[in-house]
Amino acid sequence: MYVNTKDILEKASKEFYAVPAFNINNLEFLIAILEGAVEKNAPVIIETSEGAIKYAGNGDPIRGAKFFVNLVKGYADTLNIPVALHLDHGKNLEYIAAAIKAGYSSVMIDASHEPFEENLKITKEVVKWAHAAGVSVEAELGQLAGIEDNVSAEENVLVDPQQAKIFVEETGVDFLAPAIGTSHGAFKFKGEAKLDFERLEKVKKLTNIPLVLHGASSVPAKYVELAEKYGADLGGAKGVPAEEIKKCVKLGINKVNTDTDLRIAFLAGLRKNLTENVKEFDPRKYFKEGMQFVKDVVMDRLEFLGASGKA
């Protein structure tokens, strides 16, 4: 069934587990994710970035948002597991409005690049519109500074726990993404992963709402190596180890955003398949192995995050 993201995450917060939110851009990833969630009898969150909506709608946010709602809701309503559709990193009010109108389960307003007061003001406004439509809201505090920005996990870009308390009280936001040292993409750390667990613990104590970990891909060596065996170049790829994510879940993370791991798993399967079957031109066949790898990553995450069996 198609549900509000709040229903999924408040249960997770009460019972101390996390639900993965997987980014999609197309049908193949959606099918693979939902098959994996059904097999694990787990709740799951599907999310689309503004870029995904732009891609699907050929530049028109209303068309793109409606397309994803119909696709996800249509499939979810045939299933006995809770499925939500979330707008990831909404920065543009046009996309946020399109998602709310189209029937997304939740939206993220990401004004984390703005000064605190401005972020608070914009978030409060979005919460007002979204709640009026029965849509829940995620916001972000601090910044996800990747190594590409050369400021990996520096003090001033991480969330301030006291500010988080004020922010949640004043905005009425449903879920919060606190920056604690992760970053997006396949190149997260130069050395060991460095996450600020103490900061996370403080944010949970002071806000007591479901928290979201962005940039949470683990970048499994297995798929990186397979993709490279079949011609990819992903040198230096590094993610957050599953053990570190599990620690975050113990401290209050309930939504674990995952895009890169699915991209790399699919890439490995696709490259392998295309290389090994040079006569194949039916996409249902040459996508199949990539889809299986995506499904495997999905099931593994549902398991180690504790969401398996929680449908």
- What DSSP element (H or E) covers 52? helix 50-56
Bridge partner residues of 175 (DSSP):
138
Name the binder of 43 from ligand 13P, Na ion, Zn ion, none, CB < 5-8 A by kind: none
Of residues 89 and 295, the one with the C-beta less far from ligand G3H: 89
**Least Å distance between CB 184 and Na ion?**
11
Of residues 85 and 162, the one with the C-beta less far from ligand 13P: 85
Helix (H, G, I), strand (E, B) or coil at 236: coil
**Least Å distance between CB 89 and Zn ion?**
6
Assess whether 88 carries a catalytic annotation. yes
Q: What is the C-alpha separation between 311 and 13, in angstroms, rounded?
A: 14
Does the protein bind Zn ion through residue 214 (CB under 5 A)?
yes
Does the protein bind Zn ion through residue 295 (CB under 5 A)?
no
Residue showing the smallest CB distance to Zn ion in the complex: 214
Bridge partner residues of 137 (DSSP):
107
Positions that interact with ligand G3H (CB under 6 A): 23, 49, 51-52, 88-89, 184, 259
Q: Which of 108, 158, 180, 237 binds Na ion (CB under 5 A)?
A: 108
Does the protein bind Na ion through residue 264 (CB under 5 A)?
no
Q: Give the phi and the psi of residue 79 in degrees, each rounded to 5.
A: -110, 160
170-199 residues in contact with ligand 13P (CB under 6 A) are 184-185
CB 179 within 8 A of CB 152: no
Torsion over CA: 58, 60, 63, 64 (sign): positive
CB 28 within 8 A of CB 290: yes
* Catalytic-labelled residue, pool 88, 174, 261, 300: 88
Does the protein bind Na ion through residue 50 (CB under 5 A)?
no
CB 197 within 8 A of CB 205: no
Q: For the beta carbon of residue 32, count every other beta carbon within 10 angstroms.
A: 27
Cα 234 vs. chain centroid, distance in angstroms?
Answer: 21
Name the binder of 108 from ligand G3H, Zn ion, Na ion, none, CB < 5-8 A by kind: Na ion
Q: Which of 13, 171, 260, 308 binds ligand 13P (CB under 6 A)?
A: 260
- Alpha-carbon separation of residue 5 from 20, 268, 287 (angstroms): 12, 31, 29
| Binding stretches for Zn ion (CB under 5 A) | 214, 257
| Binding stretches for ligand 13P (CB under 6 A) | 23, 88-89, 184-185, 214-217, 257-261
What are the catalytic residues? 88
